[in-house]
Amino acid sequence: LAARGDLVVDDHDPRITAAIDAGAGKAALLRDVPREAVDWSSPPPDGRRIVLRFHSSPVEFTGDTEVRSVLTSGGIEIPAGRVVRAAGFRGAPVPGLPFDGETGTVPNESGRVAPGTYVAGWIKRGPSGGIGTNKACARET
């Protein structure tokens, strides 16, 4: 990833730098990616650029026929031509199913919630693992 000249991590939050520097696995992939506090009020540099901004939630997308900017929960307006949504780490209640608010999971027995109702992945076990883990989890269900 670090070899990409068009990729930067916005280190607006000190937790981001700490997580990357101390992290293993996926977080370690970002260790050599350039980091900077991006000034969103200035025009972006020429050319394509991918900015990873963590710990920030979009509250509004602007633009008539395509995305022009994203307004964040922190009140920052970010010019954007594309938006990639990443799923959160915490499960949310599903109407009609039991839910454990402490773990963010649907209580189950080997994936079975009730007759004819099953869960797999993070809603089953909580936020851990990746694709390989989810395959094994689905197989168990």
Same domain, 75 and 94: no
Residue 125 lies in a domain: yes
Q: What are the tens digits of pLDDT across the range 52-72? A: 888 888 899 999 999 999 998
Q: Which of 92, 23, 83 is nearest to 53 (CA)?
A: 83
Half-sphere exposure of 134 (CA within 13 A, CB side): 10
Residue 140 lies in a domain: yes
Same domain, 66 and 94: no
Q: Tell me what pLDDT residue 105 has.
A: 93
What is residue 28's three-state secondary structure? helix
Question: What does pTM read for this prediction?
Answer: 0.57
Residue 136 lies in a domain: yes
Cα separation, 123 vs 141, in Å, equals 12
Residue 2, both tokens = 């670090």
Half-sphere exposure of 57 (CA within 13 A, CB side): 4
